[in-house]
Amino acid sequence: MRIAKSAATALVMLLALGSVAIANDLKSNEAASTGSPDTWSLSFTTYTWLPWISGDLTVKGRSFDVDVSAGQVLDALDWSGIPAWFSYAEARNGRIGLFNDIAYSKLTASRDFAKTGPGGALSLSGNLGADYEQTVIEQGGAYEVWSDDAAGHGGTAVDLLAGGRYWNQKATVSADLSATLNLDRLTVEGNRVFARSGSVDWFDPFIGARLRQQIAPGHSLLLRGDVGGFDVGSDLTWQVIASYNFELCLMNGHALDGYIGYRALSVDYSQGSGTNRYVFDNILQGPVIGATLHF
């Protein structure tokens, strides 16, 4: 049975994975390769990502199908503290760029459901509660390998990317007690049973490329793709981002850009076996919107 507002409502990474080179340092009438080789520029972005989530989640050997809409993600945000934080920063010096992305989210949700495994051994039934907390920190570097500034009318730049994403997740799934429930590795509190993952973390290296295209003064496009994991952390992870960036105004002499776009992030991670098994194999995809301040 597919679970809306389930344990994996939990990822909003929102996002993700960012995690995530959504920000664009292309400014009006400026190609990426311009500027003094000894001068660093900085861009700082805050953004929101509203993903649909689909895939599989396993906690303490109990598996669930995941099918969560962006609206359900919003409903599941845990406002008892900071529900989410997304930011991206990039420093550039000539052809070289260094970037950092932080994506944090905390969600909680519940609904009536039933889930039965072979012979009822994995049966969970009644009202499901789910708490999920995730942090994704991305660090990486970019190197411009090609650019074309056509007679001052804007240009195209291509960067190669390399870096890594650190993931930390905590998942707790609870349900009403069932006579058919196998309690191995589960915790019973009152009339509820809990499956807790504890803190699960891993590191995924990645490589990728980024295209930056200025289409008019103050308007640009960004396309990014990367792939990683390579069995170092997850079996496989990949990401695709597309955004349209536009100049909004100047703030104390600094350019402020807005952007809208779309982001998809996939990760297939697993560890342990039997009733100690944890699996997060999901695709998160949806719109992004934010603002970038250039220094």
pTM as predicted? 0.78
The pLDDT tens digits for 273-284 are 988 899 999 999
Q: Alpha-carbon distance 203 to 139, whole Å?
A: 11
In DSSP terms, 25 is beta-bridged to none
Q: pLDDT at position 208, please?
A: 98
Dihedral angle computed from the Cα positions of residues 43, 46, 51 and 55, in that order, rounded to the nearest 10 degrees: 70
**Total count of domains within the chain:** 1
Q: Alpha-carbon distance 52 to 74, whole Å?
A: 11
What is the span of the domain harbouring residue 84? 2-294
CATH for 107: 2.40.128
Neighbours of 255 (CB within 10 A): 19
Q: pLDDT at position 117, please?
A: 42
Q: pLDDT at position 104, please?
A: 92
Q: pLDDT at position 186, please?
A: 66
Q: Alpha-carbon distance 250 to 104, whole Å?
A: 29
Alpha carbon of residue 115 to chain centroid: 28
The pLDDT tens digits for 154-200 are 689 999 999 999 999 998 877 666 645 556 666 666 666 667 788 99
252: pLDDT confidence band, cut at 50, 70 and 90? confident
Close Cβ partners of 99 (under 8 Å, ≥ 6 residues apart): 21, 23, 88, 89, 90, 91, 138, 139, 140, 141, 142, 163
CB 282 within 8 A of CB 56: yes
